[in-house]
Chains A and B, each alone.
Chain A
Amino acid sequence: MKYNTVIIGGGLTGLVSGIQLQEQGQRVCIISFGQTLLHFSSGSFSGEESNTDVQALLKNAGIATVAGGYRLTPLGELRPAALTLEGYYHSETAELKEKSFAIVRLPKYLGLPIEFLQDTLTAQGREVSIITPDEVVGCPAEVILVPACKAGYDLKKTYGKRVSLIAALPPSIPGQHIHAKLQQYFQKIGGTYINGDKVVRSTLQTDEKGVRVQSVETQNLGDELIVADHYILASGSFQSEGLQSNYDHVWEPVFGVDTNAPEDRTAWTALDFFEDQPYQHIGVLTDEAGHALVEGRPVSNLYPAGHILGALRTDIQNLNDALRIAKNL
C-alpha cells in the first residue's frame, strides 16, 4: 500500500497534519491505535494565541470555535484558552460577565464537581442555583451550565444557546466529537484512516545518502508493507504509548527514535504531585530541520510532531507544528 505520507497517530496533531496534506493534494494514510489524548479534552485548545489557519481548518471539518478568551474549568475557575468549542461557556475577560448561574444536576452523573463549582462561583459574588433537567425551561439564571457528558449534549441539542456546556471528568464527549469530526472530514476529502491498529515493524534504510524509513507494517494488516515518501510520527506521550517505559529506561517503540529521558529512573519524577514533573518534558529528539534522530543520525523522511516531543506542549503549539510540517512536505 503506497501513500505520499503516512502519519502514525490519529490524534489532534496527526489528523490536522493529515487534513492539511490531503487538502494539498497528497494521498495520506493515518494509522491510529485506539483513541487519543483528545479524550481528556477540556473543550478548549490550550496555547498562547490561536492561528486563523487552524481555526479555518477546524471550521472546514465542522468544528466551530471561538478564539481567545477564557474557558471555565469544572472547578469553576477561568483559564485562558486559545480556542474554545462553540457551545461551551466562554468568557472574553478574566472575570465572569454574568451575575446569575444555574447548574444542571443530572441523575446518577458524578463527573461534574457541582459542589466545588457552585462554591467557586459563589465566592466570586455570583448567584448560583442547582436545577434538574426539567427546570431548564423557565429558569431565570443568565447562564445555565450543563456538563459535557452524553446527557448534557442531549440537553444542548434540545435547548441550544440557552444552555452552555462545561467540561467534566472523563469520559470526555467534547474530545470524542472533535476526533470524530476531524476523522470524518479527513476521510471525506480522500484520506485513509486505519483505526485500532498499530505499527509493529518499521524498516529503515541506510545508504550513502543517509537514513530513511522504507516501510512500516501493522498488527492487523499482517505482512502488508505500507510505503510512503514521508512519515509523520504523532503518536503522543506515555499516555498513548508514543513513549514507553519500564524499570530502567524510556524508548520510542515504532522507530527507536532517540529520547532525552534521563538515564536514572528516579530523575523522571518529582516528589510532590503539584511540582513540575520531569517526565512531562521527556520527548524524542530531532535535528534543527525537525527530522527524527535515530542513534544520533537524522532520518530524512521522518518528522515527529505533537506530544511525542513533550507532554506539556500546548494544543496550539502542536497544531502549528502540524500545519508547518505539512506545508513543507
Chain B
Amino acid sequence: MSQEYDVIVIGGGATGAGTARDCALRGLKTLLIERYDFTNGATGRNHGLLHSGARYAVNDAESAEECIKENMILRKIARHCVEEHDGLFITLPEDDLEYQKTFVERCQHAGIRADIITPEDALRREPAVNPRLIGAVVVPDGSVDPFRLTIANVLDARLHGADVLTYHEVTSLIINNGRVEGVNLRNNLTGETSEARAQITVNAAGIWGTLIAKMAGAQVSMFPAKGSLLIFGHRVNNMVINRCRKPANADILVPGDAITVIGTTSDRVPIETVDNLRVTPEEVEVLLTEGAQLAPALASTRIIRAYCGVRPLVASDDDPTGRNISRGIVCLDHETRDGMAGFITITGGKLMTYRLMAEIATDMVCKKLGVNKRCTTAENALPGTQPDSVEHEYDVVKDHSPYGRRSAGEDNRDENKTYVSHVQQGRFGNNAHNIEAGRPDKDALVCECEQVTVGEVEYAMEHQMVERLIQLRRRTRTGMGTCQGQLCALRAACVLSHKTGVEAAKADLRNFLNERWKGMQPVAWGSTLSEAQLIQRVYRDVCGL
C-alpha cells in the first residue's frame, strides 16, 4: 500500500467500486476501502432489478431518464452480470386502468420503450403472471447480479492500478486546517490500525455516509429506510412483473439466476439499528400477500430465505429539515458547503445509476485535482464481458475446450463439465476460461445446488479477494441454493482453510451457518423448516459443531 494517493474512496458498494474504477481509468492513484466485504450494504440487499426506469416515469421523470440510459449502458458493458428478459407492468381489476395510459405516455416521454399488450399475450409470454390481469405493458426491465457487477468494477479498478482494502474501517478522518488529508483505519479482522492519505477523499459509504460525514463535521441528513425481500426456491417467472400503479410495497417480482425475488417493504428505522436488522413476521406477511397478486404460484412456492437492507435516503439538500427526500443523485462538495476541503460525498441514487453517480463524483474529483480526463466507463466493457455478445461465448468455450468435442457414445468423464462450464460462464463471463478444470480434484463439486467446483473456489480465492465463506457466496453463489449451505459450507470451508488456516476457517464456518440461518429463520416452515432440521443434524450432530 502506497502512502499517498490522489483519491481515497470509502465504501465497497456499487457506488464506491464504480468511483474507484472511474478514477483509476482516468489515471488517478486510487485506494478503495471497504469495512467488511463488497456489497455488504444496500448493493447486496436489493432485488437485483435492472430498472428500465418505468417505475419512476410518472412521478420522477428525471430519475426515469437516468435509469433507462444507464440500463442500456449496463447491458453493453456488464453483459455477464445482466439478464435481459423484459418486464411487465400489470393492471389488476382493483387497479385503475386509466393509470396505464398515463404510465405509457410518461415512459415514452422519458425515452423508455413501453408497449401495451393484451392480457392473453401477457399470459403467453409469462405463464406465471396473475391470470386476473386486465392490462399489461412491456418495458425493458431486466435483472442484474449486484455482486458480480460490483466485483467487476473492483477488478477493473485493480487492473488499472488501484489498491483495494477490504475489512478496513475508517475510524476517523485525518483533518488539518479545514482539509481532509486522509483516513485512520482499523483492520476489522486483526484489530491493527493504520492510515492512508490522499488529496481527495470520497465518501461513498451509503447509509453509513452520514456517519463518515459527521467525522468531517458535516451534516448530511439521511433517513434509513429498511426494505425486506423474500427469495423463492426456483424461478417462478421469467419476466420481471410489476404492478401498474403508484409505486407501493412489495410490487416487484424479479427472476435472477435460478431464483425469484419479491420485494420490497419500506420502513424508517433508527440509524443505530442499521447493522442489526432482521426480517419481521409482519414484513413476511406483506411480501407474500402482495407477491401472490403478481404471480399466484408464489402462495405455494417454497421460500428459501428472507433478507433486508437499508436504503440511504438523503434529505434534499436545500431542505435540511429532511421532510423532502431526494430521489436523485446527491453529490456534495464539502469545501463549498461546509468549509471542509478535500472531501466530497456521493450518495442517493440507486443501484442502476451507480455508474452515473461514479461519473459525477469522479468529475468533481478531477476538477479539484485539475485533471482533464473524460469519463470512459460507459464505453469500456467490464472485465468478464467482451464487446462481442456473451451468447457466442457458450459456443466458444465448447469448441475451444481442451476436452474435445462430445460424440455420442463416448464415456467421457468431462461430460459433467458442459453443464458446469455453462454455469461458470454465467458467473464469470469469459474469465471463466481461467478456472482450473479437467482434474478430478479441481472438478469436484463444492456446491451442488449452484455447480461450484473446487477450481472455481480457488479462482475466487486467487483473483477475487475471497477468504471467507460470505465472500465466496457472493462471488460464486456457494450456499445460495435451496439447501442454503447444508452440504457445501463445510466443503468450502476446507478449501478456504488453505488460505486462512483452519482456526479461522472453523470460526468462519460457524459465522456462515448463522448468517444462512438468519435468512431462513423468518421463513422457517414447510420444506425450509425440514431443511433447517437437516442442517442441524449434519453440523451439530454428525460433525459435533
Contact = CB atoms under 8 A, between A and B. Distances in A.
A269 B524 contact: yes
A108 B533 contact: no
Interface in A107-165: 107-111, 113-116, 119
Interface residues of B, number: 45
Interface stretch (A218-226, A239-247, A318-326): A239-247
A59 interface: no
Interface string A59-88: 000000000000001110101000000000
A280 interface: yes
A268 B526 CA distance: 12
A40 interface: yes
Given A73-B542, A238-B533, A279-B533, A268 B491 contact: no
Given A114-B494, A239-B537, A277-B536, A268 B529 contact: yes
Contacts of B513: 273-274
Given A107-B440, A108-B440, A169-B490, A238 B529 contact: yes
B533 A280 contact: yes
B538 A170 contact: yes
- What is the size category of the interface that chain A forms with chain B? 35 or more
Interface in A234-269: 237-239, 241, 244-247, 265-266, 268-269
A116 B538 contact: no
B533 A113 contact: no
A37 interface: yes
Contacts of B542: 40-42, 73-74, 167, 169
Q: Which has the most chain B C-beta neighbours within 10 Å: A77, A114, A269?
A: A269
B541 interface: yes
A115 B281 contact: no
Interface in B491-545: 491, 493-494, 497-498, 502-503, 505-506, 510, 513-514, 516-518, 521, 524-526, 529-530, 532-534, 536-538, 540-545
A239 B513 CA distance: 18
Given A73-B542, A113-B493, A169-B490, A272 B441 contact: no
B278 interface: yes
A236 to B, nearest CB: 10
Nearest to B539: A273
B82 interface: no
Contact of A237 (B491, B533, B541): B533
A271 interface: yes
Contact of B521 (A108, A239, A269, A311): A269
B543 A74 contact: yes
B491 A311 contact: no
Contacts of B164: none
Contacts, number: 116
Interface string B429-466: 00000000000110111100000001000000000000
Given A107-B441, A108-B443, A238-B530, A266 B281 contact: yes
A79 B542 CA distance: 10
A266 B281 CA distance: 8
A300 B516 CA distance: 44
Given A74-B542, A108-B444, A274-B510, A245 B494 contact: no
Contact of B446 (A110, A237, A271): A110
A40 B534 contact: yes
Contact of A40 (B506, B530, B541): B541
A98 B445 CA distance: 33
B514 A272 contact: yes
Given A269-B521, A271-B521, A113 B281 contact: no
Contact of B444 (A46, A75, A110, A167): A110
A322 to B, nearest CB: 20
Given A116-B505, A239-B537, A274-B514, A79 B544 contact: yes
B271 interface: no
B278 A271 contact: yes
Contacts of A241: 530
Contacts of B544: 73, 75, 77, 79
B526 A245 contact: yes
A41 to B, nearest CB: 8
B487 interface: yes
Contacts of A271: 278, 518, 521
Contacts of A265: 281, 524-525
Contacts of A42: 541-542
Contact of A273 (B498, B517, B525): B517
Contacts of A108: 440-441, 443-444
A243 to B, nearest CB: 9
A241 B446 CA distance: 28
B446 A279 contact: no
Nearest to A41: B542
B188 to A, nearest CB: 21
Given A42-B541, A73-B543, A273-B513, A247 B525 contact: yes
B525 A246 contact: yes
A107 B446 CA distance: 13
B442 to A, nearest CB: 9
A169 B538 contact: yes
Interface string A18-52: 00000000000000000001001110001000000
Given A40-B534, A107-B440, A238-B533, A115 B541 contact: no
A169 B502 contact: no
Contacts of A170: 487, 538
Given A107-B440, A239-B533, A113 B494 contact: yes
Contacts of A75: 543-545
A73 B514 CA distance: 21
Interface string B466-503: 00000000000000000000010011011001100011
Contacts of A46: 541
B536 A280 contact: yes
A42 B536 CA distance: 13
Contacts of B493: 113, 116
B512 to A, nearest CB: 10
Contacts of B278: 271
B490 A239 contact: no
B470 to A, nearest CB: 14
Contacts of A247: 288, 525-526
Contacts of B530: 238-239, 241
Nearest to A240: B530
B166 to A, nearest CB: 23
Contacts of A77: 544
Contact of B538 (A40, A79, A269): A40
A169 B488 CA distance: 10
Contacts of B545: 75, 274
Contacts of A266: 281
A119 B502 contact: yes
A33 to B, nearest CB: 13
B64 to A, nearest CB: 37
Nearest to B278: A271
A34 B525 CA distance: 21
B367 to A, nearest CB: 49
B444 A109 contact: yes
7 contacts: A37-B537, A40-B534, A42-B541, A114-B494, A237-B533, A268-B529, A279-B533
Given A75-B545, A246-B525, A279-B524, 20 more contacts: A40-B542, A74-B542, A108-B441, A108-B443, A110-B444, A110-B454, A113-B493, A114-B494, A116-B494, A116-B497, A119-B502, A239-B534, A239-B537, A245-B526, A245-B529, A246-B526, A265-B525, A273-B513, A273-B516, A280-B533
Interface of A: 37, 40-42, 46, 73-75, 77, 79, 107-111, 113-116, 119, 167, 169-170, 237-239, 241, 244-247, 265-266, 268-269, 271-274, 277, 279-280, 311
The 4 tightest CB contacts between A and B, nearest first, are: A119-B502, A73-B544, A273-B517, A108-B440
